[in-house]
Amino acid sequence: MKRILLSVLAVATMATAYAQQRKVAGNLKADPAITVRTCGTAELPLEYETWLANKMQEPSANRIQTVYTIPVVIHVIHNGSAVGTSYNISDAQVLSQIDVLNEDYRRLNADTASTPSAYLPVAADCEINFCLAQRDPNGNATTGIDRINRNSKGWSAPPYTMTYIDNTIKPGSIWDPTQYMNIWVVPDYTSSGFQLLGHATFPLNSGLTGLTGNYGNATNDGVVIYYKAFGRTGNLDPLYNKGRTATHEIGHWLGLRHIWGDANCGNDYVSDTPTQQTANYGGQSIPYPCPGFPQVTCNNGPNGDMWMNYMDYCYDKCLNMFTAGQKARMVTAMQNGTYRSPLTTSLGCQAPTGGGPVAQFTANTTSIAPGGSVNFTDQSTGSPTSWSWTFQGGSPGTSTAQNPSNIVYAAAGTYDVTLTVTNGQGSNTMTKTDYITVTQGGGGGCDTLANFDVATSTPTIYTAQSGGYVAGQNGYGDISKADIFTNNTANAFVDQAIIVFGVGASSGTGHTANANVWNDASGLPGTIIGTKTVTYDAIAADVTAQLPTIIDFSPNVNLPIGNFYVGMNFDYHAGDTLAIVTNLDGETVPGTAYEEWGQGGGWYAYSDASNSWGLDLAHAIFPVVCTSTGLSEVLTPGNTLVVYPNPSASGNFNFIVPQHNIKDNVLVRVYDMKGAVVFNQSIASNGNGIYQLSLPNADKGIYMLEVQTNNGVKTQRITVK
């Protein structure tokens, strides 16, 4: 996306600045681990180029144009950690990479507008699609995600070398490469001492003899990607967080060379890519900019290097195109490669027929008063013919109905629900742990909504090119920042807002900002329906103490059914500064962050690339929403505790329990991943609703925090690093 930068405005004019288009300048809180793209794929020999050139010149009748769909299996190599933690990346991260490939290879990527106009005539839809495998080599149903605990294979602990991956991990896990493209997502790995982002094997043709090179074979064919450069959601390196490493390496897998030909003014054997001197990278310090255009080398003016090509080495945000010539090479590989052409007839993308069902269900509410009832709805797939439910703490305690209703829960507590579905092909069971919460006190319930996932998001402060901060005061004169949430429950209200500020400074003159709740007006924040003043002194003190800021709305803010927004509105005063923590671009897709411009400029989503930043972000804003009738499932977030900092290097954590009486003592238990209790005692609030947990002797690793309150049990994964 091309965005015009405004000139930097003086501090005295910040309050009246009016932004037309803006651009992120850098990321102060998440410095990238790798600032130079490193690809371990070797060079192709000249013999391959001679053979390929002949194939590409064959009569067009021998090269039928088609759209290819490649079945993909993702081998996730991990160390035994839970799914979604450490090397064992989440399903969402895997799916995000498949989405990127289908966009990049069909030229459906959102940043096609950033392709220079001079190169638009050769920018190509490569007509190659990718799907996660739906059947495994034995014909059984699969998700296409093959999670492998390296301990179960006897493999050594990471970090790995490229040689170890190619000679040990690949042969021990590969699926038939004539039926699947194999991708291994791996921990840190190196070659010749250099950290790698990825490497791939080239397409082998069985009719070609006398060739040597890094060609794939039956035990190693495929692509390897570093887990922090895979996909566009999850714990990613901030410079390689848009999934373009896999786009690049699969280009090699389909026969493409690096665009500079791996030589000074070298040859990539593609006629519509310019000769260029060497690899392009981008700036090596904040804000890590893309190269300028044109970048003229090797007498390739006036347009210069095609550094935005996926086969160059620039940062993910800079890459956006393949050419028609590169497409022709990849199509030739698909038609002739030993491990490429059979993929066109693979059944890997087709689910097996007659498979067993997969259990899934939902409830009309998950938080009720003692004596309340719950209705359950079966959402299983695979055509089950019978259902067996178990309701811990419910009455009746079992059911064989497809959609059981009026399950009554008499006593306060949290309860599991289990569903087993069966048909003639087999059965499947799903248990949702602590799914139903029965609260004390007449049925009221409170919970914390979250777009910013405390467990997996990377706390980040983005700076603005104009000066100041993307999620705070800046040279564009923004006056409000907010996140969108949804309420589907009658009689719900906002009791509190918990906001994590990454920047807070006070002039000491008593100035204030406002925490607001807005209703929805045509998909943007509308009228303020609740507000609370907070001082810059309080914000600055919380930032210094590394604590979130708790805002009590009094009176409570009654919510409409539908969308609402929570955030901050602020003025500009010398010495007073604030900025809200966000996650990294792409960790929340679609983004949930919005901003209001000064001078009546209106509201815009951060993801609006034409008017705003073009970033998919979530603010660290957590509204505490309560209801007297119980919370519906769609209102209940993934995280019910706000824990900060998480992870913690010292073992010291602060956490907030969303409930009406947050000054009560709470019983806290901490379990390690083997289920052993490492902490068990009552903790008192420090007076403002924040509880402090200290685990100074805990080993590094992942733990489960369990907090017993008057309103039930709350849990959250925490990490000591």
CA-CA distance, 131 to 343, in Å (whole number)? 12
Instruction: Identify residue 270 by its one-letter amino acid code.
Output: V
CA-CA distance, 214 to 216, in Å (whole number)? 7
List the one residue out of 81, 70, 91 whose CA is nearest residue 187: 81
DSSP string, 304-359: B--TTBTTS---GGG--B-BHHHHHHHHHHHHH-TTTGGGGG--TTSPPTTPPPB-
Query: Tokens 């605990």 sit at which residue?
Result: 149
In degrees, rounded to 5, the angle at the alpha carbon of residue 636 between the alpha carbons of residues 652 and 654 is: 10
CA R_g for the chain: 28
CA-CA distance, 645 to 104, in Å (whole number)? 36
Nearest 5°: phi and psi at 677? Answer: -80, 125
Instruction: Identify residue 430 by its one-letter amino acid code.
Output: M
| Residues paired with 579 in a beta bridge | 472, 503
CA-CA distance, 714 to 447, in Å (whole number)? 10
List the one residue out of 503, 535, 542 whose CA is nearest residue 654: 542
Locate all alpha helices (DSSP H) within 200-269, ordered by sequence. Answer: 244-253
The beta-strand segments (E) located in 7-109 are 24-27, 68-78
Task: Assess whether 596 carries a catalytic annotation.
Answer: no
Instruction: Identify residue 435 by its one-letter amino acid code.
Output: Y
Q: Backbone dihedral region of 609: left (phi > 0), alpha (psi from -120 to 50 degrees) or beta?
A: alpha
CA-CA distance, 364 to 631, in Å (whole number)? 9
Query: Tokens 């209001």 sit at which residue?
Result: 596
Q: Which of 249, 595, 596, 706 is catalytic?
A: 249
CA-CA distance, 312 to 577, in Å (whole number)? 40
CB 585 within 8 A of CB 615: yes
| Residues paired with 75 in a beta bridge | 146, 184
Active site residues: 249
